[in-house]
Amino acid sequence: MKMFLNGLLTLVLALSASNATWAQGPEGLMNGISFKPLPAGSTIHVRSLDNSDYNLVLQGDFETTLRASGYTVSQDANIIFTFESRDEIGSWSTIGRRHILFLESYGGQGGGEKAKAKFNIYNSETGGLFNRGRSGTTITTPSRFRLDATIDDRANGKRLWQGWSEANLDASNILTLIRRMVPVIVDGLGQTIRGRTFSLNLPTR
Residue 116's pLDDT is 59
Query: Looking at 10-19, 62-71, 114-123, 127-136, which range is the least confident one?
Result: 10-19
Question: At 104, phi and psi to the nearest 5?
Answer: -130, 140
pLDDT at 133 over 90: no
- CB crowding 136-161: b at 16 or more within 10 Å, else e: eeeeeebbebbbbbbbbeeeeeeebb
Hey, what amino acid is at 5? Answer: L
Residue 135, SS3?
coil
Q: Give residue limits of the domains in the chain.
A: 27-89+142-199, 93-137
Of the options 3.40.50.1380, 3.30.70.920, 3.30.160.670, 3.30.70.2190, the CATH number for the domain spanning 27-89+142-199: 3.30.160.670
Model confidence, pTM: 0.62
pLDDT tens track for 19-41: 433 334 568 999 999 999 998 88
**What confidence category does residue 86 fall into, taking pLDDT thresholds of 50, 70 and 90?**
confident
What's the first-to-final CA gap in the chain, in angstroms?
32
Q: For 69-199, where are the alpha helices, taking DSSP H only?
A: 174-179, 182-187
Mean pLDDT of the 161-185 span: 86
pLDDT at 205 over 70: no
Residue 21, SS3?
helix
pLDDT tens track for 90-128: 444 455 555 555 445 545 544 455 555 555 655 555 555
pLDDT at 141 over 90: no
